Amino acid sequence: MKKYMLLLVSAIFSAGLFALEVNKNELNSTGDTTIEFINYTGPHKVIDSVAAIKGIGSGLGNQVAKDPSKPTSTAKNTKYYVIHAVDESETGKLDADILFIGADATVDHIKNLRRIIAAYLSSAYGYSEADADTLSVFITVYNAVYRSKLDTFKSKYKNVVIENLSADNCGLSVNYKDWPGKSEIVIPLYDVNNGGLSTVDTSVISDSSVVNSMKEDDDMNVESRKEMVDIKEREADAASEKAKEAQKEAVSEQKKLEEEKKKTTEAKKEADDAQKKAEEKQKVADQNPDDKKAQEEAKEAKNEAEEKKQAAEEQQAKTEEQQAKTDEKKQEAKEQQTLADKKETEAQNERKEIAKDQAEVQKKEAAQALMSTEFGIILSDEANMLSSLVKFNIETGEVVKNSPVAQIRNRTVYKEGENFIAIAGENSKKGAVKLVTIDPETLEISAESDNTISENSVLVKDGSDYYCVVDEGGKFYLGKFGADLSLKLKSQIQVKAGTPVTVTDGGIVVTDSNGKLRLLDKKDLSVVSNSNNADAK
């Protein structure tokens, strides 16, 4: 992944403990300021189901699906809402859907935001789940690349879109903490009426800036890019078929046009002949004003000339109408063929780039398999002293794999069997601080404790037991946990939220809630020594 600007530290082993003491120059992985989504990857108070998350997007999409050709919006000032900004009267620029993340929204991971967007696309425009998933990846990266670049949006989108965007919040921040109340996610629309696969403008969301950003990831986003190429190839096929069909219809309309032109020519000739006859009859009538028959014939000839003229005008109108239909079909065929050629060219070019990038990724993976690596922890948030587990090259100090868990507390991680144990998380709307295990392959959380842990707690290992401070609604107790993260014992007395925990031959030394040192028995965490008979409960 693209690198954070972090203080990097070397790993020092002590009874299975990884401590942070490495300097920045040893691990040369700082540097890049390119886009990487910063997610909350710690424990949660409540975990929403995937179905519930997708339901948010589906609910929004169902409202737009009623009539995509008309502008609409879902209920504003809710956790999530959409403005379907379309305007047929303005041409040359794009319509768009704008997804707003409200101030009370709790989405904190890009995966879940993409689930909302994907479900929206499926319900609003009929995209398959797989295609919607692919589009959601590109849409989020696109909006991050152009975050706060209102001039860029102005150059591409219609006024009906721009009037709903702000300079500060247009697009998507890379940091989940900035999402609530500050997100205006733009989904470019190519054809809301008959677009099919081309409803969303895939060319816009996969421009060179977006793809270059995606290539900064370790895997260069090869799979997502392959899936986008597949969509574009199917777009090209669909557009090509539409072009062929439109061309057939254009040929048919052209034949009709020729027939109408022929009829128009004949009608004009008849009108001209009738007009000449009427003029001749009128001349005779003028020369013989008392000749009733001549007057009658002149009148009849005039009426016939007017009828022929009207018939010719009506036929001319039919011809012009047929001309418009013919031109429309020809233009449709041209536009669809242009679209087909464009998508095919983009797909071919991207396939070549993907092939090169895939070879580079494989080469890099082969090199990593041969290199000597070790695990360590680095500061991911120096201000709050939060850390992240990494795998790095011992020879060069280069970080080769970052854990997405960037909220390890107190710079302490223990090796336990095949996994790592740490206190991780943040106290937020949905987040919680818990004891967790981290998988060494994925570097993601594999399990978390049922109990909430004090955010200021230390983590101390004693044999196969782990000691840390349990938070029970603002009351704090020393907890003794097993390697499976189960709470085995809890102290009878309350302790300070950030009490030091010292393992001695006589027991466990802590600071109680009154600020006094207490010695607790390892067997049951009861007080061993209480010289002042103070009640710290």
List Cβ neighbours of 533 (8 Å cut-off, separation of 6 or more).
Answer: none
- pLDDT for 367 equals 75
Beta bridge partners of 81: 100
List Cβ neighbours of 442 (8 Å cut-off, separation of 6 or more).
Answer: none
Q: How far is CA 356 from the centre of its chain?
A: 26
Digit-coded pLDDT (tens) for 275-315: 898 888 888 888 888 888 888 888 888 898 888 889 888 88
- pLDDT for 531 equals 54
Nearest alpha-carbon partner for 409 in 434, 429, 391: 434
Residues of the chain with pLDDT under 50: 1-33, 532-537
Other C-beta atoms closer than 10 Å to the C-beta of 289 total 9
- pLDDT for 529 equals 62
Q: How far apart are CA 145 and CA 35, in angstroms?
A: 7
Q: How far apart are CA 426 and CA 445, in angstroms?
A: 14
Other C-beta atoms closer than 10 Å to the C-beta of 83 total 22
pTM, two decimals, is 0.76
Q: Which amino acid is at 454?
A: S
Nearest alpha-carbon partner for 230 in 309, 384, 344, 99: 344
In CATH, which superfamily holds the domain spanning 378-529? Kelch-type beta propeller (2.120.10.80)
* Extents of the domains making up the chain: 39-215, 248-341, 378-529
Q: How far apart are CA 117 and CA 54, in angstroms?
A: 8
Spatial contact of 468 and 501, defined as CB atoms under 8 Å apart: yes
- pLDDT for 279 equals 87
